[in-house]
């Protein structure tokens, strides 16, 4: 079925269910399709999408204003066969009520709670009424993402501690609780993990995240496109290239601004460097969590060398502020590009030696094999992404299934395993490094000459764009809507961690408590990425 035939069939099924669908402009959120529905059909839309086999991608709200009948907009994105569909509805601001999608898609749970906390949209039939994002500084009637709420808010002199979250209580003989966090050792961000266990066996894990709410969506309002790109690059510091690229892609599509070919190749080169840097760090950290410190030393050394290469390429170890609206900030020094081929060969040779040592270590394999298993069915149910999904048999990768320039000129190999354990997640990372090295060689060999940046075309009031980029953790979605002067009216970004964090709760069940750190690192969700 072609990418357009499926939509016709999906719309026909909606018609069979007596759901009124209005088609949006073909250009509004291209390449995604856009349709609108009445709010009373919102829940049935999810049922049709689930039965059709769609993947639930993201949900976000918007304050539509309006003096006579003020309304809130709600958008949901689905994916089918690499093609994306955005469904939009509007509810009165005075009575913002919709059916929940969570009975049909587990992935809708936390995003709906986020929308309810920050916009005040009530999702009926949602199984969890607890706050997810709102902090003690906000009262019951405060909805920070509505236009009439100031970015600074009206915080009390002292914000009450967030100490009354009703975690699932432990029950049964021999069952006990282990609270971990939210403050952790080292420099990682805060997140609370509440375990129920019997002996050393974990019965259940519940996460409580969102302790460092940055207000990304709110402070994006009124910014220039250049300032938005800088902000997007700080949603999750280890994913600065992919998040900035997604935001810039949304801006470029909204304004129909073509990006020079050289800039696109250099963006992709940086994105693959970002992927490799993070995979190197994670492989070493996973080994360290089971006592194999030698691997941590060696992979940390390789990652440090790689980050220094980033510095030579664009002037920043983490590649920040290199991706800008319309292209890249500056052309790299020719000497840095010339040296990169040797850098790729050197890393590949060193990794071959290290992989041989890892593969010849029975105790390492014993600790990782079978630990933290995520079945394909559960991964699909939760909508997991990136290496977490691919280690459990799900092959989705935007670079292959929905390629954007310059990946649309290549065939991108997608490493997939089926075991779904920590060992599989390590091996998928290893294979992704290999694929990234091969892609980088192609980008260097085929790098076009020419300009590196095109000024954004003038905006039209209300114009919007959608960015979809495969970050190192998986698919990133960014939505942008502009004012007539080109400044930002609405910005939303969905990091893969929103969909991968819930997988950790399933992964650790029936594992022993000492294996939680390695299970956690094998997923490596971003605290910052899910806490806009």
Give the 3-state DSSP-derived string for 345-356, with helices as H, strands as E and coil as C. HHHHHHHHHHHH
Whether 163 maps to a domain, the answer reads no
The per-residue pLDDT for range 439-495, each reduced to its tens digit, is 999 999 999 999 999 999 998 888 999 999 999 999 999 999 999 999 999 999 999
Q: Write the CB contacts of 430 (distance below 8 Å, at least 6 apart in sequence).
A: 279, 283, 351, 355
Contact 196, 168 (CB under 8 A): yes
Region 96-119 average pLDDT: 96
Whether 391 maps to a domain, the answer reads yes
**Helix, strand, coil fractions of the chain, as percent rounded to 5:** 40, 20, 40
Q: What are phi and psi of 352, to 5 degrees?
A: -60, -40
Whether 136 maps to a domain, the answer reads no
Q: What is the pLDDT of residue 211?
A: 85
The domain in which residue 89 lies consists of: 5-124
509 in the same domain as 406:
no
115 in the same domain as 224:
no
What's the Cα-to-Cα distance from 289 to each of 282, 283, 295, 361, 364, rounded to whole Å? 10, 10, 11, 15, 10
Count of structural domains, the chain: 3
H or E stretch covering 517: helix 516-523
* Length, in residues, of the chain: 532
The per-residue pLDDT for range 221-274, each reduced to its tens digit, is 999 999 999 999 999 999 999 999 999 999 999 999 999 999 999 999 999 999
Whether 132 maps to a domain, the answer reads no
293 in the same domain as 196:
no
Contact 473, 496 (CB under 8 A): yes
Name the domain boundary from 86, 107, 124.
124
Q: Report the predicted TM-score, pTM, of the whole model to 2 decimal places.
A: 0.96
Contact 89, 66 (CB under 8 A): no
Say which residue the tokens 């664009």 belong to.
314
Region 195-214 average pLDDT: 92
Q: What is the pLDDT of residue 359?
A: 94
CA angle 296–188–354, rounded 5-degree value: 15
Q: What is the pLDDT of residue 26?
A: 63
Report d(CA 480, CA 467) in Å as an integer: 8
Residue 329: pLDDT over 90: yes
Name the domain boundary from 83, 107, 124.
124
Report d(CA 378, CA 370) in Å as an integer: 16
Whether 142 maps to a domain, the answer reads no
The per-residue pLDDT for range 397-423, each reduced to its tens digit, is 999 999 999 999 999 999 999 999 999
Count Cβ atoms below 10 Å from residue 214 Cβ, excluding itself.
13
Q: Write the CB contacts of 349 (distance below 8 Å, at least 6 apart in sequence).
A: none
Contacts by 64-72 with C-beta closer than 8 Å and gap 24+? 64/90, 65/147, 70/94, 72/96, 72/119, 72/120, 72/121, 72/146
351 in the same domain as 459:
yes
361 in the same domain as 224:
yes
Whether 184 maps to a domain, the answer reads yes
- What angle separates helix 261-289 from helix 422-446, to the nearest 10 degrees? 150
226 in the same domain as 195:
no
- In this prediction, residue 104 has a pLDDT band, given cuts at 50, 70 and 90, of very high
Q: Write the CB contacts of 377 (distance below 8 Å, at least 6 apart in sequence).
A: none
419 in the same domain as 332:
yes
Closest CA to 404 of 508, 289, 271: 271
Whether 153 maps to a domain, the answer reads no
H or E stretch covering 365: helix 362-368
394 in the same domain as 332:
yes
Q: What is the pLDDT of residue 2?
A: 54
Q: What is the pLDDT of residue 4?
A: 59
Report d(CA 248, CA 13) in Å as an integer: 35
- In this prediction, residue 3 has a pLDDT band, given cuts at 50, 70 and 90, of low
Residue 160: pLDDT over 90: no
Whether 334 maps to a domain, the answer reads yes
- In this prediction, residue 275 has a pLDDT band, given cuts at 50, 70 and 90, of very high
267 in the same domain as 204:
no
Among 172-186, 191-205, 301-315, 325-339, the minimum mean pLDDT is found in 172-186
Name the domain boundary from 91, 107, 124.
124
Contact 457, 236 (CB under 8 A): no
As a whole number, the mean pLDDT across the chain is: 93
Q: What is the DSSP letter of 391?
A: T
283 in the same domain as 356:
yes
Region 169-175 average pLDDT: 86
Give the CATH number for residue 470: 1.10.645.10
Report d(CA 344, CA 364) in Å as an integer: 27
CA angle 273–274–280, rounded 5-degree value: 85
Give the CATH number for residue 119: 3.30.460.80
101 in the same domain as 181:
no
Closest CA to 247 of 511, 471, 11: 471
Region 89-108 average pLDDT: 95
515 in the same domain as 389:
no
Q: Write the CB contacts of 49 (distance below 8 Å, at least 6 apart in sequence).
A: 10, 56, 78, 104, 105
Region 348-365 average pLDDT: 95
3: alpha, beta or left? (left if phi > 0; alpha if psi -120 to 50): alpha
The per-residue pLDDT for range 115-149, each reduced to its tens digit, is 999 999 999 999 998 888 877 778 888 899 999 88
Give the CATH number for residue 530: 3.30.390
Three-state secondary structure call for residue 285: helix
Exposure class string for 86-104: b at 16+ Cβ within 10 A, else e: bbbbbbebeebebbbbbeb
Region 328-357 average pLDDT: 94
Number of H helices, E strands in the chain: 17, 15
Q: What is the pLDDT of residue 185?
A: 77
Q: In what order do the strands lie in the sheet with 33-37?
A: 21-23, 33-37, 83-92, 71-80, 55-65
Closest CA to 209 of 524, 527, 516, 499: 527
């Amino acid at each position: 079925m072609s990418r357009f035939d499926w939509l016709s069939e999906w719309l026909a099924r909606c018609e069979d269910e007596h759901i009124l669908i209005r088609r949006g402009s073909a250009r509004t959120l291209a390449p995604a399709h856009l349709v609108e529905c009445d709010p009373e059909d919102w829940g049935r839309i999810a049922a049709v999408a689930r039965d059709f086999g769609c993947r639930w991608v993201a949900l976000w709200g918007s304050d539509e204003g309006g003096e006579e009948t003020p309304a809130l907009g709600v958008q949901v994105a689905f994916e089918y066969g690499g093609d994306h569909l955005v469904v939009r509805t509007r509810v009165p601001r005075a009575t913002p009520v919709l059916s929940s999608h969570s009975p049909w898609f587990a992935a809708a749970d936390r995003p709906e709670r986020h929308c309810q906390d920050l916009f005040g949209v009530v999702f009926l039939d949602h199984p969890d009424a607890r706050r997810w994002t709102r902090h003690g500084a906000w009262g019951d009637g405060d909805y920070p993402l509505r236009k009439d709420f100031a970015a600074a808010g009206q915080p009390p002199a002292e914000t009450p501690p967030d100490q009354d979250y009703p975690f699932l209580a432990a029950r049964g003989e021999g069952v006990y609780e282990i609270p971990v966090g939210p403050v952790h050792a080292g420099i990682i961000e805060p997140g609370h993990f509440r375990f129920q266990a019997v002996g050393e066996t974990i019965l259940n894990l519940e996460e409580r995240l969102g302790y460092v709410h940055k207000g990304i969506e709110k402070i994006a309002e009124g910014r220039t496109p250049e300032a938005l790109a800088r902000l997007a690059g700080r949603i999750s510091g280890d994913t600065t290239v992919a998040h900035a690229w997604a935001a810039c892609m949304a801006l470029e599509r909204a304004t129909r601004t073509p990006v020079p070919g050289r800039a696109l190749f250099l963006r992709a080169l940086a994105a693959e460097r970002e992927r490799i840097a993070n995979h190197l760090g994670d492989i070493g950290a996973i080994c360290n969590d089971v006592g194999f410190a030698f691997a941590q030393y060696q992979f940390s050394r390789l990652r440090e060398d790689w980050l220094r290469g980033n510095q030579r390429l664009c002037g920043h170890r983490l590649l920040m502020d290199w991706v800008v609206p319309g292209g890249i900030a500056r052309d790299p020094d020719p000497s840095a590009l010339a040296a990169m081929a040797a850098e790729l060969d050197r890393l590949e040779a060193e990794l071959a030696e290290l992989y041989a040592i890892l593969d010849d270590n029975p105790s390492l394999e014993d600790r990782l094999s079978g630990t933290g298993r995520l079945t394909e069915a559960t991964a699909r149910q939760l909508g997991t992404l990136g290496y977490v999904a691919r280690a459990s048999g799900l092959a989705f990768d935007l670079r292959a299934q929905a390629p954007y320039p310059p990946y649309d000129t290549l065939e991108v190999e997608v490493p997939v395993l089926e075991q779904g354990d920590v060992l599989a997640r390590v091996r998928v990372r290893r294979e992704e490094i290999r694929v990234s090295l091969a892609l980088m060689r192609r980008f260097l060999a085929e790098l076009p000459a020419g300009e590196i940046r095109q000024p954004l075309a003038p905006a039209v009031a209300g114009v919007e764009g959608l960015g979809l980029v495969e970050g190192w953790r998986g698919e990133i979605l960014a939505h942008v809507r502009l004012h007539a002067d080109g400044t930002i009216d609405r910005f939303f970004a969905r990091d893969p961690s929103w969909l991968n964090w819930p997988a950790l709760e399933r992964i650790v069940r029936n594992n022993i408590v000492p294996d939680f750190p390695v299970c956690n690192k094998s997923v490596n969700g971003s605290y910052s990425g899910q806490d806009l």
